[in-house]
Structure 1
Amino acid sequence: MLLHTLNRLARYGMVLAACLCIIGLAGCGPAADVPDDGKLKVAVTFDALKEFTQAVGGDKVDVYTLIPDGTEPHEFQPTTQTIKHLGKSQLFVYSGLGMEPWAPKVVEAAKNTSLHTVNASQGVTPIALTDEEDVKEHGAYDPHIWLSLVNAQIEVSNIAAALAEADPANADYYRNNAANYKKQLQALQDEYARKFASVPRKDFVTGHAAFAYLCRDFGLTQHSVESVFSSGEPSARQLARLADYCRANDVRTIFVEDMVSPKTSETLAREVGARVETIHTIETSEDDESYLDRMRDNLEKIYASSLR
């Protein structure tokens, strides 16, 4: 426990040091490579927000993702390039609820008086964290709101309002696009609400506890190998308890997320005679698959696992 806490404090210190460093260096180096094509320049933090912004903004926006593909957002440390992109942007979209603790410092360092900033979590009913160490490091709430089709609609509405404020001439365009995209999100929600209503089991086992909001949407329960923030290693006792649960409940599938090491999940699966399936946290782009494609894949796999 002590080592786990020290590791977390070290990571927090690295992020804080990086923020302080980039504030000092924000005025140095070449300008960010942002195209001057007349479109609204929008910086977002990770892939799900990029997709929401593109769905709403259409051909009126250029969207740049600050966290590079393949980087775990919880571990991201901003750089001078992060600052420079915000310095050239007109809108900055972040997910909030502790997902991007560096965001206020980065906005301050950008010194961009024309930058509109939107916390896309506004209006979401958050799920409180229960682990004291997670609360100390990340804040009071689970930040994985975009993995809920209900919350995704709230984020889309917030993004549409921010785009309309930043670019009033195209406000109706943004609102119409948002309404159309929200209809697609709601249709997928309705489809799987009907499916999950009659399944014999309402739980699943996954690599880290990123799906609490999805579970709330559909009345499900997640059992996870690792915590909400996929940090540290589970103890032998925790793994033994989870293995006992899997055997007692005939769990045949252990899910693992695309951004988390599968080793522990694979070990658990071998021990209980289950298979490993990948589901998506949609923090980074994957094979040109859309948010809707990946959410459908997640829901279908969880649904299939609930039938046995």
Structure 2
Amino acid sequence: MVKKSFRSASCFVTLLSFALLTLTVSCAGNTPVGKDNITVSIEPLRYVMESIAGDRYNINVLTPAGASPETYQLTPQQLTQLRESRMYVRMGTLGFESNQLNKITESIPHIFSVKASAGLTPLWKEGYGSESDSINTDPHTWTSPINMKTIAKNICEALCEMDTTNRELFSHNMKHFSEHMDSIDASVRQMLADVPTRSFLVYHPSLGYFARDYGLRQISLEHNGKSPSAERMERLVKQCREDSVRVIFLQKEYSERSVRAIAEELDAKIVVVNPLSYDWNTEILNIAKALSR
């Protein structure tokens, strides 16, 4: 009798273990485990990539929040992530890309390396060298909805080449993304249509492409990556007065103290922006709203 009970209990435990194992395997099938990795340089590229690729890939971002993509140093863990990725999407204009990543990706034979800014017309940095030197171009190409359409097109074409099975999905998503960029572009133009003051002041010159595409003038406090001298500050205040500047954009990485004095002198409003945010739509529309008030 005892032996029979023991055999029954043993059989029950075995069946229970099998059921739990089956449930575990079934649940594992609904998780993102097993997805291939794609690595991108900055958060706005993750926004574009996820818009085009959907949830087909795990997207890793190299530049963490608050870090400068001009000077950021990669960690060993990030280098491992990069080597394990099927695709790496670089903006192609950022300091840490040219300083660290170009040679690294050349040593990874299996990776698709994509320059997202290919085909864009560059802006040249004021006060730098000749226009034949690509180092002197404004790297912030993603701050324009018009540019973002080209960036997305480059990413979509690369995805279609790498993953032909999902080509139809990528093309479908690209179409919707392009329409969305057109909608944002139209909203920005409408907000800025009757704005009398076409100039704005910014600490770090990150909105040059936005200014170019909407007939605005960007005046930068920072010059060649350095804080303004007293002499430059005096010239800028004079220029801002002549242009009736009423808005000063400050990236969230900088302290308000760096622009508070000039804001008081100009009676201008300080607006904190984050061009490196994943929430790209909100940032672009908030910039336009600030200028339209």
- The one-letter amino acid paired with 2:167 is A
Partner of 2:101: 103
Contact 1:252 1:274 in 2 (8 A): yes
Q: What does 1:228-239 correspond to in 2, within 5 Å?
A: 231-239=225-233
Query: Which consecutive residues of structure 1, in runs of 5 or more, have no partner in the other structure?
Result: 1-34
Give SS of 1:237's match.
helix
Aligned-residue offset at 1:293 = 1.6
Contact 1:145 1:151 in 2 (8 A): yes
Aligned-residue offset at 1:137 = 9.9
Contact 1:40 1:167 in 2 (8 A): no
Aligned-residue offset at 1:85 = 0.9
Aligned-CA RMSD value? 2.3
Instruction: Tell which structure's C-alpha radius of gyration is larger.
Output: 2
Distance 1:257 1:191, change over 3 A: same
CA distance in 2, matches of 1:284, 1:196: 22
Contact 1:280 1:298 in 2 (8 A): no
Aligned-residue offset at 1:65 = 0.4
CA distance in 2, matches of 1:114, 1:295: 36
In the alignment, structure 1 residue 251 sits paired with structure 2 residue 245: yes
Q: What does 1:214-293 correspond to in 2, within 5 Å?
A: 214-227=210-223, 231-281=225-275, 283-285=276-278, 290-293=279-282
Query: Which consecutive residues of structure 2, in runs of 5 or more, have no partner in the other structure?
Result: 1-30
Give SS of 1:176's match.
helix
Contact 1:96 1:119 in 2 (8 A): yes
In percent, how many aligned pairs have the same letter?
26
1:103-145 CA-to-partner distances (Å, cap 9, x unmatched) read: 212213xx43221010001111111224236989970311110
CA distance in 1, matches of 2:34, 2:53: 13
CA distance in 2, matches of 1:130, 1:233: 15
TM-score by length of 1: 0.78
Q: What does 1:203-218 correspond to in 2, within 5 Å?
A: 203-218=199-214
TM-score by length of 2: 0.82
In the alignment, structure 1 residue 67 sits paired with structure 2 residue 63: yes
In the alignment, structure 1 residue 183 sits paired with structure 2 residue 183: no
Q: Which moved more, 1:112-121 or 1:264-273?
A: 264-273
Contact 1:71 1:284 in 2 (8 A): no
Task: Name the count of aligned residue pairs.
Answer: 261
Contact 1:156 1:178 in 2 (8 A): yes
CA distance in 1, matches of 2:105, 2:270: 40
Distance 1:131 1:245, change over 3 A: closer
